[in-house]
Amino acid sequence: MADQKFDGYSKDDLTKKLVDGETGGVTFDNLKPVTDYDFVATYAGQDPTKAGTDLGKVTTANPPKIAVTGVKFGEDSTNIDVGETKDLVATVSPDNATNKALKYSTSDATIAIIDADSGSTKGIKAGSVTITATSVDDASKKATVTLNVQKPTVNVTGITADKTLNVDVGKTAKITASVQPDNATDKGLAFASEDATIATVDADGTVHGVKAGKVNVTVSAHADGSKTATTAVTVTAA
């Protein structure tokens, strides 16, 4: 091993004054562990005949190992969409553990894959998996998190509904309506009559004629109430 030098220290840093019978030394910071260093010690006293220089070598000690006592994730479960990536990073206790490295694994790589070193996870298909973080220092120290992979949410962008509908008093007719796009995650619709004394409407869009008149039925998306369409209903006497 190549000898290291005490670079970066001024003369004042390395001066130590002692009286007869006293012992002392100089402290160096930021030295590398298990490394050889050369040193030159120059000493002088009131008697100039006792001045001199010593050469020597010192090997720094290997600091004691601080073992990992635990591993944890910040949450018990988390969600991602199919095709989405997310970093699932666990932490090691104590903070000053000598070896804080972790290895990550998935219980089912057909649902989600994970980078063993970084914890970067990608959803492959809908389902749930267990992600495990294991201490490299001590494989008995590990933590798990449940990862739920879900299909991406497709938002409703609009609603198509019959512009008009005719129904006789005492009869029924059904409004045809649908959401866009066709693959929207939530295709649910709600129907509401402006005037139930003229016509009422069921949850499935069935209109009941009550008395002659005209009334609007509003169709709205469950997923987004701001997306609406209107059907003009005419109720005629039988």
Upstream peptide bond of 63 is cis (omega within 30 degrees of 0):
no
Q: Which two tokens stand for residue 101?
A: 């490295």
pTM of the model: 0.57
230 DSSP β-pair partners: 218
Scan for tokens 């490295």, then name that residue.
101
Torsion of CA 228, 230, 231, 235, to 10 degrees: 120
Nearest to 115 by CA among 131, 128, 135, 126: 131
Domains of the chain, first to last: 12-59 (no CATH), 70-150 (2.60.40.1080), 158-236 (2.60.40.1080)
Indicate the helix (H) or strand (E) that contains 114. Answer: strand 112-114
In this predicted structure, what is the pLDDT of residue 52? 54
HSE-CB at 191 with a 13 A cutoff on CA atoms is 26
In this predicted structure, what is the pLDDT of residue 64? 86
Task: Compute the Cα dihedral for 127, 133, 134, 136 and give only its sign.
Answer: positive
C-alpha–C-alpha distance, residues 106 and 88, integer Å: 11
Query: Which amino acid is present at 226?
Result: S
Quick one: DSSP state of residue 12?
A: G
HSE-CB at 152 with a 13 A cutoff on CA atoms is 9
Model confidence pLDDT, tens digit, residues 111-156: 999 999 999 999 999 999 999 999 999 999 999 999 999 999 899 9
Q: Identify the segments of the chain with pLDDT beneath 50.
A: 1-12
Q: How far apart are the first and last CA of the chain?
A: 106
Q: How many C-beta atoms surround the C-beta of residue 110 within 10 A?
A: 10
